[in-house]
Amino acid sequence: MTKESIIEAQDYLRVKTEYGCKRIIDIRSLLESHNQNEVIKFLKNYLREKEKALKSMILIDKTHRKVDQIVASMFRISMAIKSLEEGEEVIKLERSQQGAKESGQFHKRNSGGHSGAGIGEDSRHDGKNRKPGQAIQRAA
């Protein structure tokens, strides 16, 4: 989880109202006492609770303004989850790239002595070896 992904997730979980900014959830305080996987798991559980609340609210009154509020908060929570998960993927990608850089250079692999054309591997192969771009006659 990068600082950018945490900031982006927190931005999704902040709503401007006429009284100022309201936080749906404060991710930074959660991350102080829990690891990133627990925070993502918590957000997913919270999203499921919102889905249940939406279902019950729709059964009661589809036109109530609380339906819109629940849908908006569900969207914001799901986007926060997505940005946090993408932040994890960025870190994993950076670590794998660092490993490739630290290894220095690529090593030539031994092919094991097999340099055949692969004839007989495909039952639909007609046995002829063709060069790339060579015209092929096909049965109509």
pLDDT band at residue 86, thresholds of 50, 70 and 90? confident
> What is the number of domains present in the chain?
1
Q: What is the reported pLDDT for 87?
A: 79
List all residues 6 or more positions away from 62 whose beta carbon is below 8 Å from its beta carbon.
Answer: none
Q: What is the reported pLDDT for 59?
A: 94
* Residue 91 forms part of a structural domain: yes
* Residue 135 forms part of a structural domain: no
* Residue 129 forms part of a structural domain: no
| b/e per residue 90-116 (b: at least 16 CB within 10 A) | eeeeeeeeeeeeeeeeeeeeeeeeeee
Is the pLDDT at 130 greater than 90? The verdict is no
* Residue 128 forms part of a structural domain: no
* Residue 138 forms part of a structural domain: no
Q: What is the reported pLDDT for 93?
A: 61
**Average pLDDT score, the chain:** 80
Against a cut of 0.75, is the pTM above it?
Answer: no
Domain limits for position 51: 3-102
* Residue 23 forms part of a structural domain: yes
Q: What is the reported pLDDT for 13?
A: 93
Query: Residue 107 has which token pair?
Result: 């090593």
pLDDT single digits (tens) 8-44: 999 999 998 888 888 999 999 999 999 989 999 999 9
| Whole-number Å distance between alpha carbons of 104 and 95 | 15
